[in-house]
Structure 1
């Protein structure tokens, strides 16, 4: 391993990103669609799937030792924070919330700055989930 891949913080972040990717992706398709209701609300599902994809992409940037990995980590931290906040409002989403929070923290460390643990309404796209972040994307 060379460059950034020797950094233990980066190694942990890659692991956290990949874990978050797997958790969000699988829960969105298995648990949330079966439960229906707020779990299957388009904004919430969209946020979970976007979070999963960004986590995978962020891990790939770090694995390829991209010089842009810190920018991706900063964005990933924000999206994971939003996803964790949305999942916290729903029963049975503790695994996804925990994976998102761990990934957000690792990404903040790699990006080199602290973001707030929770976000204000003007910082996040919404999901439409009661108590979650506001709505996001084309579904809004």
Structure 2
């Protein structure tokens, strides 16, 4: 039986797990922020994308932590959803919280695209 601990995974995968975990947390925090701000920030499409992004990031991290070979599929989906979430956050205008989330989503998208390849 192979043990998939951090020492046995590639550095790229460990980085991706960290990025997914951070992106999951930031998306959840950003949902709370957006609901508090209201207006376009709280629109269903934007909140739905943040929620989907948080979910797929958690799933991708979990899949990699389990050492499941299907991580290429979850990471591919995660990269796409993170890119869309970053675009949605960017569309909210000049807002530090939105920029933080968009930047994290872009970083996670890059890590996941690498792992999906």
Query: Does the TM-score normalized on the shorter chain lie above 0.5?
Result: yes
User: Structure 1's 86 and 36: CA in aligned 2 closer, same or farther, altered over 3 A?
Assistant: same
Runs of 4+ deviating beyond 4 Å: none
What's 2:101 paired with?
96
Q: How does 1:1-140 map to 2 (within 5 A)?
A: 2=4, 5-29=8-32, 31-91=33-93, 92=95, 93-112=98-117
What's 1:132 paired with?
none
> Aligned pairs, how many?
111
TM-fit CA distance, 1:6: 1.6
| Larger helix percent | 2
Kept after mapping to 1: 8 A contact 2:23/2:105: yes
Point out where structure 2 has 5 or more consecutive residues left out of the alignment: none
TM-score by length of 2: 0.90
Greater relative CO (CA pairs within 8 A, separation 6+): 2
Kept after mapping to 1: 8 A contact 2:83/2:109: yes
TM-fit CA distance, 1:2: 3.4
Could you tell me how far apart the structure 2 residues matched to 1:110 and 1:78 are? 13
TM-fit CA distance, 1:3: 8.0
TM-fit CA distance, 1:26: 1.0
TM-score by length of 1: 0.76
Point out where structure 1 has 5 or more consecutive residues left out of the alignment: 113-140
The superposition leaves residues 78-131 of structure 1 with CA deviations (integer Å, 9 ceiling, x where unpaired) of: 00000000000113200100110000000000111xxxxxxxxxxxxxxxxxxx
